[in-house]
């Protein structure tokens, strides 16, 4: 920092006649430079609109009556007075991956909150907040400065040696340290908010992956039923061939479809294994023991109304909290940058020993005060950068808030439509799949239909079954999107309590029938 030059007079004036005017001049200089320029107030979103000519002629009610209640606005998602709510994590014992067995949804969510790789990174980022707080804690922003001087002084009486030592310290008298500490606390708050956002992201992703694994397991169960049905069909065709009721072609067709069904089941089993591995990867589960989801597909539910979902989002949406924390941090940085433009005086003491003839050496003690004149540099770059970051933070918050209401309504209606589709399939299709296969088998056994008609009917029912499970997938995807929008579980009591039952497993073969592939171990490469 540039320092004022101390000119010492060699005349022997009284102490008060030399020091007092110097101190008075420094005081006047400090008072004149204490405020080099009025700090610019960071522009808020409202003032930004005032400076935007595009808003001068904007219509006041261009959305029509009732548009705000349906569309939502940024003001609808202002920070709640009671603060944002933390992510709900079920309080259940953590499962042991090495123990095997089925794992419930609550256990997977609790395990993921502890072990998810994404959360390990987010928790490590907390150190950034702690580092910011520790960095702003020191009382002095700069270390004291010590300087030593030595050199000859030539005079008519000879050459003598002058020695000098000085100590100076720059001081912040405008509250700069307090503003830096405030900005550091906001950095820590933002990092903590981002951790909550990461926890919610992992929570909802694990929730959605658990649902996908349940649907994949139901597809495998359906493939097991079809495989068992096809094996019984081959047995019936062979017995009818021995009785002379069908030609060898019918047996060949049945055997070919059995081989095709086995290949199809291998692919379905692999997709189920992949769904389990994806669930484990999100939760931090060891790959050697992929988790097996417990429970069954729940009955679809109707989501709450729009107003209730908006209220839930106001208190739970972690992204709103992160954006709000980022805006507060940007505001604190802007205030600190404005205050850093103020001049900071340096005070010190200087001790000099002036050489002279024997017995004529002199010792001089001086107090120093220096002050940089804010003529060219007034922290313009840091202030402009902080103000730009504030504009960006406000724009991001306004953009997210203005679109959140639309997203909530969009995903809510998608859940309603998907739930209606699932109900139609659940009442009329899924419960009848096993019975339909039994009717086809009985009709072929009695000779009422031939093998080609069996193939057509089986494919038809299998496609309907697949469509029903696709409807479940769409429903769970819509629920996941809606939960992502509001930042909370729609139904925290969702347990999938109905575990795998007889209706979800392949039927036991008769004593005179071959063992279906559903009860045989899978190859290691596709074993779920």
> Can you give the pLDDT at residue 476?
93
Q: Which domain holds residue 159?
A: 143-171+342-377
**What is the signed CA dihedral for 211, 213, 218, 224, rounded to 10 degrees?**
180
Residues contacting residue 178 through CB under 8 Å, at least 6 positions apart:
none
Interatomic CA distance for residues 285 and 281, integer angstroms: 6
Interatomic CA distance for residues 438 and 432, integer angstroms: 10
CB 486 within 8 A of CB 319: no
Q: Is residue 156 in some structural domain? A: yes
Per DSSP, the residues of 329-348 read HHHHHHHHHHHTTS---EEE
Q: Is residue 356 in some structural domain? A: yes
Q: Is residue 498 in some structural domain? A: no
Q: Is residue 161 in some structural domain? A: yes
- pLDDT tens figures, 389-422: 999 999 999 999 889 999 999 999 999 999 999 9
Tell me which residue of 232, 220, 252 sits closest to 516, measured CA to CA: 232
CB 321 within 8 A of CB 84: yes
Query: What CATH number is given to the structural domain containing 361?
Result: 2.20.130.10
> Can you give the pLDDT at residue 87?
80
Tell me which residue of 7, 3, 2, 26 sits closest to 366, measured CA to CA: 7
pLDDT < 70 regions, the chain: 1-76, 80-83, 359, 427-428, 430, 495-528
- pLDDT tens figures, 112-124: 999 999 999 999 9
| Count of beta carbons in the 10 Å neighbourhood of residue 375 | 8
CA 383 to chain centre: 29
Please state the domain count of the chain: 1
Helical (H) or strand (E) element with 368: strand 362-370
Q: Is residue 371 in some structural domain? A: yes
Q: Is residue 364 in some structural domain? A: yes
Q: How far is CA 284 from CA 25, 97, 487, in A?
A: 69, 10, 22
**What is the signed CA dihedral for 469, 472, 476, 481, rounded to 10 degrees?**
100
Interatomic CA distance for residues 473 and 480, integer angstroms: 10
Interatomic CA distance for residues 491 and 106, integer angstroms: 12
Q: How many helices (H) and strands (E) does the chain have?
A: 13, 6
Q: Is residue 361 in some structural domain? A: yes
CB 336 within 8 A of CB 175: no
> Can you give the pLDDT at residue 20?
58
Q: Is residue 439 in some structural domain? A: no
pTM score:
0.74
> Can you give the pLDDT at residue 283?
93
Q: What are phi and psi of 121, to 5 degrees?
A: -70, -45
């Amino acid at each position: 920092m540039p320092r004022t030059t101390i000119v010492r007079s060699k005349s022997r004036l009284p102490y008060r006649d030399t020091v007092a005017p110097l101190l008075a001049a420094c005081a006047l200089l400090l008072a004149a430079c204490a405020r080099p320029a009025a700090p610019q107030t960071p522009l808020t979103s409202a003032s930004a609109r005032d400076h935007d000519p595009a808003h001068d002629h904007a219509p006041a009610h261009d959305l029509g009556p009732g548009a705000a209640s349906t569309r939502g606005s940024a003001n609808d998602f202002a920070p709640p007075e009671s603060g944002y709510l933390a992510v709900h994590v079920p309080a259940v014992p953590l499962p042991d991956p090495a123990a095997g067995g089925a794992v419930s949804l609550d256990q997977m969510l609790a395990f993921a909150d502890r072990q998810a790789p994404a959360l390990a990174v987010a928790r490590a980022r907390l150190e950034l907040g702690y580092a910011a707080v520790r960095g702003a804690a020191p009382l002095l922003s700069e270390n004291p400065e010590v300087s030593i001087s030595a050199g000859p002084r030539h005079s008519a009486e000879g050459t003598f040696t002058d020695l000098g030592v000085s100590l100076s310290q720059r001081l912040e008298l405008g509250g700069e340290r307090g503003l830096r500490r405030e900005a550091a606390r906001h950095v820590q708050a933002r990092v903590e908010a981002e951790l909550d956002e990461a926890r919610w992201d992992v929570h909802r992703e694990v929730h959605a992956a658990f649902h996908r694994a349940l649907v994949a397991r139901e597809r495998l169960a359906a493939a097991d039923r079809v495989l068992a049905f096809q094996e019984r069909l081959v047995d019936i065709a062979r017995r009818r061939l021995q009785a002379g009721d069908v030609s060898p072609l019918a047996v060949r067709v049945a055997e070919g479809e059995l081989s095709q069904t086995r290949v199809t089941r291998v692919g379905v089993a692999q997709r189920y294994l992949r769904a389990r591995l994806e669930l484990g990867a999100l939760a931090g589960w060891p790959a050697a023991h992929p988790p097996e989801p417990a429970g069954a597909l729940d009955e679809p539910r109707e989501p709450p109304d729009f107003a209730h979902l908006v209220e839930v989002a106001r208190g739970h949406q972690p992204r709103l909290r992160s954006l709000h924390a980022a805006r507060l941090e940007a505001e604190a940085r802007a205030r600190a940058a404005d205050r850093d433009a103020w001049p900071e005086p340096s005070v010190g003491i200087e001790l000099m020993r002036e050489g002279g003839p024997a017995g004529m050496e002199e010792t001089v003690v001086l107090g120093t005060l220096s002050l940089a004149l804010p003529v060219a540099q007034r922290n313009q770059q840091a202030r402009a950068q902080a103000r730009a970051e504030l504009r960006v933070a406000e724009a991001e918050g306004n953009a997210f808030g203005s679109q959140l209401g639309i997203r909530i309504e969009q995903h809510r209606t998608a859940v309603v439509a998907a739930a209606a589709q699932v109900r139609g399939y659940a009442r009329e299709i899924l419960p009848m799949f096993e019975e339909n296969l039994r009717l086809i088998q009985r009709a072929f056994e009695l000779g009422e239909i031939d093998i080609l008609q069996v193939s057509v009917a089986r494919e038809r029912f299998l496609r309907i079954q697949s469509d029903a499970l696709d409807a479940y997938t769409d429903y769970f995807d819509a629920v996941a999107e809606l939960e992502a929008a509001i930042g909370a579980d729609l139904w925290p009591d969702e347990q999938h309590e109905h575990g795998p039952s007889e209706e979800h497993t392949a039927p036991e073969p008769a004593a005179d029938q071959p063992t279906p592939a559903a009860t045989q171990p899978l190859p290691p490469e596709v074993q779920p």
